[in-house]
Chain A
Amino acid sequence: MGAPGRRATAWAGGYFLPRDLHPGAWWIWTLGLAVAASRTTNPWLLLTILAVVCFVVIARRSEAPWALAFRIYFGLGVLIVVFRVGFRFVFGGAEGSTILLTFPEIPLPAWAAGIRLFGAVSAESLLGGLYDGLRLATMVICLGAGNALANPKRLLKAMPPALYEVGTAVIVALSVFPQLAESALRVRRARRLRGGTTGKRMHVLRTIVIPVLEDALDRSLHLAASMDSRGYGRAGTARRRARFTTGLLMIVGLIGVCVGVYATLDGTTPRFLAFPVLASGTVVAMLGFRLAGRRVRRTRYRPDRWRPAEIVVAASGVAVAAAMFATSDVDPTNLNPSLTDLSWPLLSWTPLCGVLVGVLPALLSPPPETPHDHHPPAAAGGIPENVPERVRA
């Protein structure tokens, strides 16, 4: 997307200059879409969300290892759908009246009442599994998009000081999966170059899995060492008791926030779990933040700023979620299509347009920096060197 970016630069005063956006903006956009997906089982909407996410990821992801893991999330999504539908075959999906096929049912003893193995499978229950699986898959793919678009290391930099302990753990955990994926790709490529592709299955396992695991271990040791040398995990001058209190407050608060967010988003949980728990969890967590923040003093080198592009990206994500919440208030009929009598799911314009707002970042955000703009290209088809980490922290 270099050319349009450069052309646009002329009139937008540097708005479209290639750069990496603030990771928080991408996460807000992603979570907005994930929230929207969680509100609906309408396949039209879910497909549109998927298309929007894929387009934005392909257009705006960088060349970093974590960005390449997106296809793995996509595969995970497909797997989720396949499993959801497959389970309807196995554990009986006779809900509804349009029986598609009938397997012989395996009789189960009386203590297993309520579980059915095989038997009739109806179109309604298959569709139910498909819609449900599609929703979960869309949410997972949205998270994958967040991982692909946002630079986890810069996200760590943007964390409030009080969150360093928790944030470090979360970000290390978040980046393990993309790192593994990247390792696997690298090892496979190297293996292919060595010409050792023919072999028995066990051999393949040994030549891929072991190097990948070893690589992952090496990297985490490196990461730990480098973080240690930069002062992460340093307890400072705080007393043991104070640290315990802060930690307890933060963990309890964060659990409260998680439960509250879950209950707010899931319409089927009791309402007293939603707002009250969310609010009290936030209060407790804030208290913990304050206590922790008081003793942590860290400076930031070249902090990431929120510029107009970041605001556009984040706002479009929020707009998608807001549109879906608004529709579920105004016209909830089609967000969860009825499966009682089979028909094509209906759709109205409001949620569709709302979802399409999510595509704006692909057009209205600066393209990512590409390492190839600055470096001589690697030989085509060769092993790309370890992509230089463009972490300016």
Chain B
Amino acid sequence: MTHPPTRPLTHPPTRPLTHPPTRPLTHPATRAATRPSSRAAVRPRRGRPGRPAVLRRVAALAGAVLLALAGTVATAPLGAHAIDHSKGSPGFCKSSTGVTVVVDFQQLGGTTIVRCNPRGSRGTGLDALKGAGFQIAGVQRWGEAFICRIENRPSAVEKLPIKGNEGYRELCIDTPPAAGYWSYWHAGNNCAWTYSQWGVKNRDFIPGGFEGWSFSLNATADTNPRPRIAAVRPGTSGRPCTARKEPKPTSNNPNVKQPGSSGGTGGADGGGTGPGSGTGTDGDGDGDGDGDGRPDGAQVPGTGQGPTGRQGALPPPKPRAGTADDPGKNVAFTGGENAPDVNQVIKKQSGASDYAPWAALAAAILLALATWVTALRRRRARHW
């Protein structure tokens, strides 16, 4: 009953908004050529003042190995803030463009953060999270495919009272235990939160919808806590939920993408990297026509339409079981405006010193010199 009225409502406003920005980035013919430059425009490689001197000293130390190290390290931009305020905006998204990201620390303590990633193009859950400005850390084993820390919580020095190991500390080396990890949720606007069956890199966020991160401590699959912010954008409450139900993964292969997902590479601005022909099973072949590499009939009505707007391509949006929580019961939240700089916090927590790396470098250089001198003396003694 609900879909006839919603389709006309959602389509016209979103299409003009979503298409123009994505097209130049993702047109198959120009994709390879434009990406590096578009990246440079979005994220200028920050300068490297004073770096060459460091480089030279390191290179003197041990040749090629270190050169490689220094070369790659030298490209590292310095200092990111806890919340990268250059990305996203605090609070809920104002319109149906973009995705609202909710990070609920639950029992870790700390005020829930709600930020908006205003991006109109499609992208993975990881793009949504990063694009909203959150600082995340993956695990060493899986990289960013498994989110281990958000805003440095749980930090490496924080004791997590998980069952059976009260003093557990999250080192983010291997997959975190099932008793203490960031659970991943999503919801369309005005929909109930759904525990994601897909990995963060394997599904696309719902434009105009919500991405939720809620720390699950000593919870089971049934008692995983939902984010305590209702998935309702201000001013839209009372409208029906129209998100399409996502298919469940059919295999355990962690690399399988959700059918029709953009297959973004996880870059903060990598949403345009999807293959020109999507793997969507429900696409009807006009996927290349709109040039944004997105198969038709993808997850959300209103975004999968080609310029021709063939309505038949879309499966009818189904009303979702369950509705959103009452926004009146939302917990207090901020936009993360006053969050401390994650790098500073880490530095303080770890007791790292500004001078220790220099001391290490100096020690290594001294030892290398001593090695050289000793080798010379021994060689001379041998041939005397």
Q: Which A residues are closer than 8 A to B by beta carbons?
A: 1-2, 41, 43-45, 47-48, 50-52, 54-55, 58-59, 63, 77-78, 81-82, 85, 94-102, 104, 113-114, 119-120, 122-123, 125-128, 130, 134, 137, 267-268, 331-334, 336, 338, 340-350, 352, 356, 359, 362, 370, 372, 377, 380-381
Contacts and interface: CB of A to CB of B under 8 A. Distances in A.
B65 A51 contact: no
Interface in B196-231: none
Interface string B240-271: 00000000000001111000000001111110
A48 B367 CA distance: 9
B352 interface: yes
Contact of A268 (B80, B173, B268, B273): B173
Contact of B253 (A114, A125, A333, A350): A114
Nearest to A59: B374
Contact of B352 (A82, A94, A347): A347
Contacts of A122: 267
Contacts of B80: 341, 343
Contacts of B351: 331, 348-350
Interface residues of B, number: 76
B171 interface: yes
A388 B147 CA distance: 60
A50 B62 contact: yes
A130 B67 CA distance: 11
A101 B378 CA distance: 46
B357 A333 contact: no
A82 B64 CA distance: 9
Max chain A CB contacts within 10 Å: which of B137, B140, B266, B367?
A: B367
B64 A78 contact: yes
13 contacts: A43-B69, A98-B76, A101-B36, A114-B253, A119-B265, A267-B173, A268-B141, A331-B157, A341-B80, A343-B78, A345-B357, A348-B356, A352-B363
B75 interface: yes
A346 B374 CA distance: 31
A114 B174 contact: no
Contacts of A59: 370-371, 374
A390 to B, nearest CB: 15
Nearest to B367: A51
A98 B75 contact: yes
A341 B156 contact: no
Contacts of B39: 99
Contact of B350 (A97, A114, A130, A348): A348
A372 to B, nearest CB: 6
Contact of B360 (A44, A102, A126, A350): A44
Max chain A CB contacts within 10 Å: which of B64, B69, B267, B349?
A: B69
Given A59-B371, A343-B80, 6 more contacts: A54-B367, A94-B270, A336-B140, A336-B172, A341-B80, A344-B78
B325 interface: no
Given A59-B374, A130-B72, A348 B381 contact: no
A333 B66 contact: no
B364 interface: yes
A386 to B, nearest CB: 15
Given A1-B374, A348-B350, A81 B169 contact: no
B383 A377 contact: yes
Contact of B76 (A50, A82, A123, A380): A123
Contacts of A347: 352-353, 356-357, 360
B265 to A, nearest CB: 5
Interface of B: 32, 35-36, 39, 43, 45, 61-62, 64-66, 68-69, 72-73, 75-80, 130, 135-138, 140-141, 143-144, 155-157, 169, 171-174, 253-256, 265-270, 273, 343, 346-347, 349-353, 356-357, 359-361, 363-364, 367-368, 370-371, 374-375, 377-378, 381-384
B355 to A, nearest CB: 8
B171 A332 contact: yes
A340 B144 contact: yes
A267 B171 contact: yes
A346 B169 contact: no
A120 B361 CA distance: 32
B65 A58 contact: no
B69 to A, nearest CB: 6
B353 A349 contact: yes
B65 A134 contact: yes
A336 B171 contact: yes
A51 B361 CA distance: 10
A370 B380 CA distance: 13
B198 to A, nearest CB: 15
Nearest to A93: B143
A27 B47 CA distance: 46
Contact of A99 (B135, B155, B267): B267
A380 B383 contact: yes
Contact of B374 (A50, A55, A336): A55
Nearest to A340: B137
Nearest to B268: A97
A50 to B, nearest CB: 7
Contacts of B383: 377, 380-381
Contact of A348 (B68, B174, B352): B352
A100 B363 CA distance: 31
A264 to B, nearest CB: 15
B75 A338 contact: no
A63 B383 CA distance: 12
Contacts of A2: 381
Contacts of B45: 98
Given A58-B374, A102-B36, A344 B382 contact: no
A1 B374 CA distance: 7
B136 A336 contact: no
Contacts of B35: 99, 102
A157 to B, nearest CB: 26
Contacts of B43: 97-98
B356 A352 contact: yes
A376 to B, nearest CB: 11
Contacts of B343: 341, 343
A59 B357 CA distance: 25
A267 B174 contact: yes
Contacts of B367: 48, 51-52, 54-55, 359
